[in-house]
Chain A
Amino acid sequence: MPMRLVLLALWGALLLMPAGASYAHSVSVEHTLETVIALAATYDSGEPMAGAQVTVYAPNDPTTAWHTGTCDEMGRYRFAPDPALPGTWTIQVRQAGHGKTIYVEVGSSTTPATSAALVQVGSAAPYTLLQLIVMGGTVVWGCIGTALFLRGGAADAYS
């Protein structure tokens, strides 16, 4: 008799157990697609800006930091801007007084995207080596030309 009572009590407890508990080991995965801005910060010598500090300003308040963070050992940093704040996001990467501010346009479109930005500090990244040589050469030749012009006493004619 007592054995029958115990079994009955167990059966009743099983029936009264909340339904959710029966899913204790299940997994719920939800996903959203977000726009991510990925930075890669390097010095002009090519070294990564490891540990550089990143400050992000949202389009609606360009004076107060919206988010701050630190680059990894390879000078990389990723963050997801708030999709509710479309416009121009200002991102500053700074280390030891060196740094650069870049501006990334985040549209109001619902289409998510990954925006990759190369932050190269103290360099003329958009130029090729040949362009750099020509540009530098013009300045150097300008200086040499000035020296040659004034060396021959031409300055006296214009003074």
Chain B
Amino acid sequence: MHIPDGILPLAVCGAGYATTATLTWYSLRQIQRRPDPHAMVPRAALLTAVFFVASWIHIPLPPISVHLILNGLLGVILGWYAMPAILVGLFFQAVMFQHGGITTLGVNATLMGLPALLAYGLFQLRFVLHLTGRFATGAVAFVAGALGLGLAVLLFYGVLVATIPANLDVATEQAALTLIALAHIPVVIIEGILTTLVVLFLLRVKPELLTDNAPVGATALLSEQG
């Protein structure tokens, strides 16, 4: 689901870089405001490696094969750190393995980073909605993990359908895009389950990993709930 070089018009690539720059700047600003901005960098580095490797895991769904993205998981675990982690991971995937592209790095980072941040926001909603029990946390994690990839697929589909060149058979290309979008439905569910499993595991062994990336207000709410 990485858009390679030569597929999108230059203006769209430029807009992708602009949105990625804005999202990254805002994320770094939020990170800088934390009491210890360095504290979560090791975790972000490790999950960058996981994100980098995940795209090698292909799931054959004839007639095509798809691969894991894990942007929702990164959003849930890393919060604002997810955006720079995804950007770095995509950069290495494009430079070393031509998976994606340099001109489309901005677009790809927005397609995967923005849903990751929304997944983070959704996961933090559990504090507001008082869904902090084990079952409720797992359910919210599933929705957040699935939303991360689901939204990325919708953005991928929307960007590519809107920019099909006139010299191509538009109906054929649109049908192929619809097929690849539908083929991601099982992956959306798989990533939701994976996110749930990771969150439930962390909840058991080291629950602070799920709360130390929460906004200050949410943490206070959690401590009030005891």
Contacts and interface: CB of A to CB of B under 8 A. Distances in A.
Nearest to B56: A136
A96 B65 CA distance: 13
Contact of B7 (A50, A99, A151, A159): A99
A119 to B, nearest CB: 12
Given A45-B60, A53-B168, A146-B45, 10 more contacts: A51-B172, A95-B176, A96-B64, A96-B176, A97-B160, A100-B6, A136-B97, A143-B45, A143-B52, A148-B42
A55 interface: yes
Interface residues of A, number: 39
A103 to B, nearest CB: 11
B42 A151 contact: yes
Contacts of A100: 4, 6
Contacts of B38: 150, 155-156, 159
The A interface, classified by DSSP as helix, strand, loop or mixed, is mixed
Given A100-B6, A146-B41, A147-B42, A140 B52 contact: yes
B41 A155 contact: yes
A159 to B, nearest CB: 7
Contacts of A132: 97
A101 B5 contact: yes
Contacts of B96: 124, 135-136, 139
A55 B64 CA distance: 22
Interface in B11-66: 38, 41-43, 45-46, 48-49, 52-53, 56, 58, 60, 63-65
A47 B64 contact: yes
A50 B179 CA distance: 13
Interface in A51-99: 51, 53, 55, 65, 68, 70, 92, 94-99
Nearest to B92: A139
Contacts of B56: 136
Nearest to A148: B42
B180 interface: yes
B29 to A, nearest CB: 17
Contacts of B98: 122-124
B107 to A, nearest CB: 11
